[in-house]
Amino acid sequence: MRRGTLRSSFWASNWKPLVVVIPAFNEAASIANVVAEVRHHVNGPTLVVDDASTDDTAVRAEAIGATVLRLPFRLGAWGATQAGLRYALRQDWQVVVTLDADGQHMPADVGPVLSPVLSGTADVAIGAYPERASASRQLARRFFQGIGGLAVEDLTSGFRAYNRRAIAKLAQPYATLFDYQDVGVLLDLKRHGFRVVEVPVRMRDRRHGHSRIFHSWWAVTRYMLQTSVLCLAYAGRGTSRSAQSRPHGKSV
């Protein structure tokens, strides 16, 4: 879906235009290109949430035309993402698209990821690229699919689209406790009956930095221990009453 198509299909509706939220920590090497590409493909504002970077991430993002929300101290990838969701909620945006700041996601794929959310067939859409899975990613995916009951192939993708209801849910204070944006968020969405779908997307190789989770076996071990506790905690909760009263749709 090209920029013109995105304008005709989405901006013709009664909703306030979407915002693209990009959480970023020390991504000065890539952020300008990412923002420029987003602005080329999406006719809407770009919000970079600078997670207390120590480099020129914020300056370079502003120079290329993004709105920058500077955090006074580091909150991590999910904390920065949630700050963006809360900002979007206050600004009355109806849809949020999140992208990573490292340049691996392709903003040209925003249209396909948005499509199920705009059509009302999903509350959340995940841009999925399971082919990127290393041995550690495959291990984590199979493990959490098993103990969490999640039917999602790309658990760690930061390329997502959220509708207004999902934004409001994930902006709540209790969601601040999630250390990561992937499994914890997906478990919470599942418990509350949100419809989550995956949309195939393309992905570039990383040019700068490294994965926040899968760059070492120690990081993988820490991630799996923390997330396992979260999965076990959610396993005993069951489905919320509000979710039981809603019409059924495809969920995670």
The DSSP line for 54-97 is: SSSHHHHHHHTT-EEEE-SS--HHHHHHHHHHHHHHHTT-S-EE
Rg of the chain, C-alpha, whole Å: 17
| pLDDT higher than threshold 90 for residue 238 | no
Kindly report, residue by residue over 157-196, the tens digit of the pLDDT.
999 999 999 999 999 998 887 765 578 898 899 989 999 9
Report the pLDDT value the prediction gives residue 143, as an integer from 0 to 100: 73
How many other C-beta atoms are found inside a 10 Å radius of the C-beta of residue 168?
A: 14
Kindly report, residue by residue over 91-136, the tens digit of the pLDDT.
999 999 999 999 999 999 999 999 999 999 999 999 998 776 566 6
CB contact set of 187 (below 8 Å; sequence gap of 6+): 148, 150, 230, 231, 234
Name the residue with higher pLDDT: 183 or 78.
78
Torsion angle of the four alpha carbons 112, 114, 119, 125, in this order, in degrees rounded to the nearest 10: 100
Report the pLDDT value the prediction gives residue 67, as an integer from 0 to 100: 98
Report the pLDDT value the prediction gives residue 1, as an integer from 0 to 100: 45
Q: For 123, phi and psi rounded to 5 degrees?
A: -90, -30
Q: Which CATH architecture has domain 3-133+153-210?
A: Alpha-Beta Complex (3.90)
- Token code pair at residue 199: 């949309």
Report the pLDDT value the prediction gives residue 223, as an integer from 0 to 100: 65
Kindly report, residue by residue over 3-56, the tens digit of the pLDDT.
444 544 554 454 557 999 999 999 999 999 999 999 999 989 999 999 999 999
Which residue, among 73, 67, 60, has the nearest Cα to 32 in the 3D structure? Answer: 60
Domains of the chain, by residue range, sit at 3-133+153-210
**What rounded mean pLDDT belongs to the chain?**
82
| Total-model pTM | 0.82
Where in the chain does DSSP place strands (E)?
19-24, 46-50, 67-70, 96-98, 124-128, 160-162, 196-200
